[in-house]
Amino acid sequence: MKILLVEDETEIGSLVKDGLEKEGWSVDYCEDGDSGMTCATTKSYDAVVLDVMLPGRSGLEILKALREGQNNVPVIIITARGESEDRIEGLNLGADDYLPKPFFVEELLARLRAVWRRSSDGNMSLLSIGSLSANLMSREVSRSGQKIDMTPKEFSLLAFLMRSPNRVLTRTQILEQVWGYHFDPGTNLVDVYIRRLRAKIDLEGEAELIETLRGVGYRMVDAENPRPAEGA
């Protein structure tokens, strides 16, 4: 779970950042509107938290740019006391929720979970292939209703494969996306993890979901939807 936080008041910003990180989310923290705009429009996030009044671009301008770019990432705006017009404008621009200052970090966490639940109704946070499903928010994995425990790395790898069904992913792509390596570490790291994943997800009597393409990479097979996902 990756969150973009744009807030110019350092005290609030670092409090929120710490709170989110304690929950296991990774946070990109921008302290002005221009760097916030750059992050929002060039990187991909699972949720965006925007203060309205910022040096440089305002939170509402960032929100507008996101929605104009067809980016439907859940957005929560945080507003100062007396900025009720900003709240209304924010909701009109497509914010999912707003939170007036001052607020407790717990409250923001609750709102984030709520927007996530709503967006997961739209299948944004639930990946599923055949009888295998993975929830990006709760990080729960199950096959035919049977819960499967995963380490964080195993989960990241599984989510990466499931996001691109029927597409061949090379070891290089996997190392970059899952481990952040932009070089070949010269180990069989990927293969070792794939083996572990298979041992966990391929229950007896169920179809094998990860296909090996010798010398190339791996592919998550979605037999029910044989065409590769659009834009994946």
Q: Note the residues at the interface with Ca ion (CB under 5 A).
A: 8, 51, 53
Dihedral angle over CA of 62, 66, 72, 74, nearest 10: -10
69: part of which helix (H) or strand (E)? none
Distance between alpha carbon 79 and the CA centroid of its chain, in Å? 24
Q: Are 129 and 110 in contact (CB under 8 A)?
A: no
Distances in whole angstroms, Cα of residue 137 to Cα of each of 43, 59, 119, 120? 19, 25, 11, 9
CB of 217 to Ca ion, least distance (A): 46
CB of 97 to Ca ion, least distance (A): 18
Report the DSSP beta bridge partners of residue 20. Answer: none
CB of 9 to Ca ion, least distance (A): 6
Name the residue nearer to Ca ion (CB basis): 46 or 51. Answer: 51
Name the residue nearer to Ca ion (CB basis): 11 or 204. Answer: 11
> Reduced to 3 states, what is the DSSP secondary structure of residue 175?
helix
Distance CA 102, CA 116 (A): 22
Closest CA to 40 of 53, 19, 58, 15: 58
Question: To which residue do tokens 């393409």 refer?
Answer: 213
Name the residue nearer to Ca ion (CB basis): 33 or 217. Answer: 33
Which residue's CB comes closest to Ca ion?
53
Name the residue nearer to Ca ion (CB basis): 12 or 189. Answer: 12
Name the residue nearer to Ca ion (CB basis): 13 or 217. Answer: 13
CB of 54 to Ca ion, least distance (A): 6
CB of 13 to Ca ion, least distance (A): 9
